[in-house]
Structure 1
Amino acid sequence: MDQSKCTLYSGGLKGAEETFGEAAEQYGIKEIIFTFEGHRLSRNKNSVILSKEELERGDISMELASRMLNRTYYETEKIRKVLQTIFHMVNNGHQVFVIGSIMDDNSVKGGTGWAVELAKLFNRPLHVFDQPKKQWFTWKDNGWKEDAPLIEYDTFVGSGTRYLNDAGREAIERLFTDSSAAAKVKKA
Structure 2
Amino acid sequence: MDFSNYTLYTSGLKGSEATFGEEAEKLGIQEVVYSFEGHKLYRDKNVRILDKNQLERGDISMELASRMLNRTYYETDKIRKVLQTIFHMINSGHQVFVVGSIQEDGSVKGGTGWAVELAKMFNRPLHVFDQPTKAWYTWKGQWQEDSPRIEYETFVGSGTRYLSDAGRNAISQLFIDSFKS
Q: Do they fold alike, i.e. is TM over 0.5?
A: yes
Question: What are the superposed Cα offsets for residues 123-171 of structure 1, whole Å, 9 maximum, x if unpaired?
Answer: 000000000000000001x100000000000000000000001000000
TM-superposed deviation, 1:3: 1.9
Give the distance between the partners of 2:178 and 2:152, measured in 1 at CA.
10
TM-score of the two chains, using structure 1 as the length reference: 0.95
Residues 32-181 of structure 1 aligned to structure 2 (within 5 Å):
32-140=32-140, 142-181=141-180
TM-superposed deviation, 1:4: 2.1
Q: Alignment partner of 1:67: what SS? A: helix
Which blocks of at least 5 consecutive residues in structure 1 are unaligned? none
How many residue pairs match? The answer is 181
Is the contact made by 1:10 and 1:32 (CA closer than 8 Å) also made in structure 2?
yes
- Structure 1 residues 67, 31: CA separation in 2 closer, same or farther (over 3 Å shift)? same
- Structure 1 residues 72, 3: CA separation in 2 closer, same or farther (over 3 Å shift)? same
Q: Alignment partner of 1:172: what SS? A: helix
Give the distance between the partners of 2:58 and 2:18, measured in 1 at CA.
22
- 4+ runs deviating over 3 angstroms: none
For 2:118, the aligned partner's letter is: L
Question: What are the superposed Cα offsets for residues 93-134 of structure 1, whole Å, 9 maximum, x if unpaired?
Answer: 000000000001110000000000000000000000000000
Question: What are the superposed Cα offsets for residues 45-89 of structure 1, whole Å, 9 maximum, x if unpaired?
Answer: 000000000000000000000000000000000000000000000
Is the contact made by 1:2 and 1:154 (CA closer than 8 Å) also made in structure 2?
no
Give the distance between the partners of 2:36 and 2:147, measured in 1 at CA.
33
TM-superposed deviation, 1:2: 4.8
Which blocks of at least 5 consecutive residues in structure 2 are unaligned? none
Identical pairs, percent: 73
